[in-house]
Structure 1
Amino acid sequence: MQFFAKKIKNSQYYSLGGLKMFEKKYYEIKLESVGGMGANLCGKLLGELGAMYLGFDSQSFASYGSEKRGSPVKSFIRWSKEKININSPITNPDVLGVFYEHILTKKGSLNGISDKTVVVINTDKDPDYVSNHLKVRKIYTIDCTKLMMETKSRLNMIMFGAIIKAIGFVKLEDCEKLVKETIGKKYPNLLEVNLTGLRRGYFDVQMKEFDVPESYVHQEVKQKWGYENAPLGGINPQIGSSVVNELSATRDGYIPLFIPERCIQCVLCDITCPDMVFQFREGEYKGRKMMVNHGPDYHHCKGCMRCVEICPSEALVAGVEKEHQNALYGKRNFDLIVDELEYETQGASSWITSESFYEREKVDGGIR
C-alpha cells in the first residue's frame, strides 16, 4: 500500500533550518512498529506534512503482512527538494522511529542506521540507558504508555509529536493544522485528545547527545538463507505460532494478571485464548481432584486481553506490563522441556483487536 503527496506550488521552504539538514538528495524517515500502534497512519501524516507544509516533494508508503495486530510494520517517508524518482524501502534513515522497544530484538530492525541517525524510541528508559545498545549521536526517548494513560490519546499521535521534535525544522503549529484537517474531520470527537497527545509527545520527549565514532554503521543482520541462496523447496523457519516464538513484542503495554484465589476453574480463559497460554496441572479444587489452572505462560501471551474480558470472577485483570516485570517469566509451559528450549525473540500474532483499558479502575495492581 502506498501514499504519495505531491509538492504544492508556492509553498514556503524553511530555508533557515530544513534545507541545511539535507546533506543528501533525500531526507528519509523510517518507522519500526507492530500492527495496531498506528505507524502506518503516522507515516501518512508525515508524508502529507512534507508536501502541504514544508513544500517538499513527498513520499510515504508502508510494508506489512496480512494486517494482523502485532505483526511487524515498517513505514517509510521521503522528503526532497527535487522530484522523487525512486520507490524503494529506506535503508539509511535520517530519523528512525521505534514505536515499541522490543521490536529492536527483531533481526534487521537496526540495519543501516549510522552515527548520524536520530533515533526516537518509545520506552520508559532514559537516553543514557538506550545508548548502551544504540551507537548514535542523538537519542530521543518518550514513555508513550504513560502518556497514553494520562491523555487517553493514541500512541501514534504521541510518537508523531516526538518525531517532529527530533526532526528539528518542523513547526508544531503546522502539525496541529494537519491533524485538524485529517483526523479531526474523520473523528471530530477525538480531535482534542489527539492534539493533546501530539503536544505531550513534542514537549515531553527527552533528548541527549553522545560521542560515537564517525561513520559508525550498525552491521546488517542477514538470515542464513535468503532469496538468493535458499534451496528449492526450503522451509520457513519462523512459522505461525511456533512454540519457540516468544510473543512479547506483540503486546502494547498491558498483560493479564492472574489472581488464583478468585479462579473458579471455569476454563473460559483457556477456551478464548488464541495461543493456549494457560497452564494446567493436576490438583484439587473444592475437594475434587482435577486439572487446576496455574495462569498464563507469558512467553506465548500476545496481550490480546480476551481472557480479561471473558473472566466471570475477575481472576484475570489487566495490568501495566512494566509494573510486573519480575513476575512475567516465572511460569513456563508445563508440557515443554524448557531447560533445552531457546525462545526466538519474535513471533506471530493473530487477527485479534481488543479495546484499551485506560478508563477502568485499578484492581489488585491491575486495571479493571
Structure 2
Amino acid sequence: MNKFFFFLILVSIQSCSTSNNHIELENNTPIYKPTGLYTSSFGNETALAHPQAKGSLIRVTWKDLEPAKGLYDFTALEEKISIVKSYNKKWSLAIIAGNDSPEWLLTDIKADFFEIVDINNTLKKIPKIWDPKVNERLDLLARQLAETYNNDIDLTLVYVPQMTVNGIEGHFNGVTSSELINAGLTANRWVSSVKETAKIFANYFSNKAIAVEVHDIMGDTSIPNRIINDLWNDYSLNKRVGAAIWWISGKNSYQPNLIDALTDFEGDIYAQAIGRSDQIERFENNDYRTLFSQSETIGVRYLELWEYEFVNNTFPTTFESFNKYTDSNFNKLKK
C-alpha cells in the first residue's frame, strides 16, 4: 500500500475517534453521554413539552423497586418511563436509597445501620454502606435493572444510589461529624464503599453514563474529590463515571473548596439547580441566571432544572443558549 495513502487513512481514523458527535466508543460499544437541559421532575407533564427540555430525571426508591427480598417490581418506574417516551424525550434514572432502602435490608439481611435526626427533625435509619451486605444487595438490584434498561437508547444517565440522608446526594445535611464518626464512618470506608457501588452500576449499565453526586463529607473536600478522580481515572470504567452536583446556584460561598475541585476535575460533570427561580435568595445576586454562567465555568455538560422553569417558561433565551453551549462543547469525550 502507498505509504502516503496509509498515512491519510491513519489520520482519518484518529480524527474520527475524537469527532464532535454524541457517540463515544467503549470497546466498540456506542456510549451516549447526555448534554443540555433536563427537567428534574414532571408532576406537571407540560414540563416535558418544553422545546428546550431534552429529557427528564426519573426518581424511584429502592424500597419500591424491591419491596421484598429478591422480588422486583418496576411497575412505578415503567409508568414514568412511558410518560417521558410519549413526549419523545430522554430519561435519566435516580435510585433513592438511604432511608428509602427496603426495611427487609435491616430486618432480614441484618445490614448494619445507624439512626440520625435530619434537619426536619425526622428520625431516619441509614444502612451503613461499608457493611458488605449492602453492596451485595445493590449488586443484585443493579443487575435486574440493567437487564431491563441497559439497552434502552432513551436512558442516558444513571445516578449511583447512596446511603445518605436523602439517598442520592452524597451528604449528611444536618448531621454532625461526631455523630458520623460514632457510627463508624471514616474517610477510607466512605471512599471505598461509594466507589464500589459506582463500579457495580457502571459494570452492569455498560452502555450508560454514570454519575456520583458529591458533597463535602464531615467538612472534608478530599473525600468526594478522591471518589470522583479515582473513578474517572479507573481504566476499566472507560471514563463513563462522572461527578454530579445537585446544588448549583451561581454562588461560590457554599462548599467553595469543592467548587474549586470540580472546576479542576477533568471528567464529566452533571448538575441540578439548587432551587426554583422564584426562590431568588438561593442564587448569586438574587439572579437565577448566574447558575448557568457558573455551570459553564465549572464545565457542566448536563443540567436539571426544576419543572417550574419549563412549566412557566421562565428564561427561554437562557435555556436555548445553554443547550447550544453544551451541544458545542460536550458532544465528544471530555479529556
Same fold (TM over 0.5): no
Q: Name the TM tier (shorter chain).
A: under 0.3
Q: Which has the larger radius of gyration?
A: 1
TM-score relative to the length of structure 2: 0.26
